[in-house]
Structure 1
Amino acid sequence: MVWGAIGYEGKSELVVLEGRRTSHHYIWTVSEHMLPFAHQHYGTDFVFMQDNAPIHASYETTDFFKEIGVTLLAWSARSPDLNPIENVWALLADKAYRHGKQYHSVPALTVAVMKA
């Protein structure tokens, strides 16, 4: 899995994550990658948008955000996916797989994604 964040000031680094993700893993990813990006560009005045994936909506995760004072954008369970990062992922996939390119290993795909 590849993880990243975007904002009106730019984008975070892309992070390759291996294995099954839990709330604990997600909190680590947010702490190590999203928060430094957000604090660098927005200080503490920002709203974080995420979908309702179980690891995003868990009590552990929502309690974490409350404890550190990050405002989460309310996300209706039955709303269409309006998260702009989905458009970024589509563009990234389009670049990586342009002209029908196929990859025969995870490392080769990882390199292509990072270049895209």
Structure 2
Amino acid sequence: MYHRRKATEKPFLTPKQMQDRIRWAWEHYFWTEEDWARCGWGDEMSMVMGQGEVWVTRATEEKYLPDCCVPKFKQFSVGMVWSLITLEYKGPLIFFEGNLSEKGTINSDICIRTILPHIQAFSQLFQGQGREFIYMEDNSRIHTSQLTTSVMETLRIFQTWWPANSLDLNLIENA
């Protein structure tokens, strides 16, 4: 039986991007748990604080008790965060409140100064255990710029190629 439902939203994929995703899947199809354990999945995201609903359980007459209220402000606070996860470890949660570009985003310089030292620490941790570390992240400009790529090579941080518009393949995007 058919029902009217809201259409599912997902990133638009071109035929080439679909082929790249299939290629990526086949390249990783036979990976073992040990292979996946070498991977670190990282990403940044923007946050809007003070937006959304907060639910409380209360009686009708408790509506204005401090424990049943949330402060309301005229403006929302916007910030960015970054983190990394592996099969065994969680990276730090890095907040970028005042440490953003003029556009309010993370650029290559900020990535190199703030994020790469944490990725390098994970890479060194794995190397100290005699394991290779593979960093997985999306193809945003800050990750693929010549400057960022050059510094990552200098720091000996190995990245694998990533199919475009494939957020669903990154564990941290879905955490």
Give the match's secondary structure for 2:92.
coil
Hey, which of these two has a bigger chunk of strand by percent?
A: 2
Consecutive unaligned residues in structure 1, runs of 5 or more: 89-116
Return the offset for 1:73.
Answer: 1.2
**C-alpha separation between the residues in 2 aligned to 1:43 and 1:30?**
19
**C-alpha separation between the residues in 2 aligned to 1:9 and 1:52?**
24
Return the offset for 1:11.
Answer: 0.5
- Give the alignment partner of residue 114 of structure 2, picking from 22, 29, 46: 29
- Give the alignment partner of residue 53 of structure 1, picking from 107, 132, 140: 140
Task: Flag as ranges the 4+ runs of structure 1 deviating above 6 A.
Answer: none
Consecutive unaligned residues in structure 2, runs of 5 or more: 1-79
Return the offset for 1:61.
Answer: 0.6
- Give the alignment partner of residue 3 of structure 1, picking from 82, 90, 94: 82
1:112 corresponds in structure 2 to none
Return the offset for 1:34.
Answer: 2.3
Query: So what's the TM-score if we normalise by structure 2?
Result: 0.45
After superposition, the CA RMSD in angstroms is 1.7
Greater RCO structure (CA 8 Å; 6+ sep): 2
Hey, which of these two has a bigger chunk of helix by percent?
A: 1
**C-alpha separation between the residues in 1 aligned to 2:118 and 2:127?**
14
Return the offset for 1:69.
Answer: 1.7
**C-alpha separation between the residues in 2 aligned to 1:68 and 1:39?**
10
Cα 1:59–1:25, aligned 2, differ >3 Å: closer, same or farther?
A: same
Give the match's secondary structure for 1:43.
helix
1:80 corresponds in structure 2 to 166
Give the match's secondary structure for 1:48.
strand
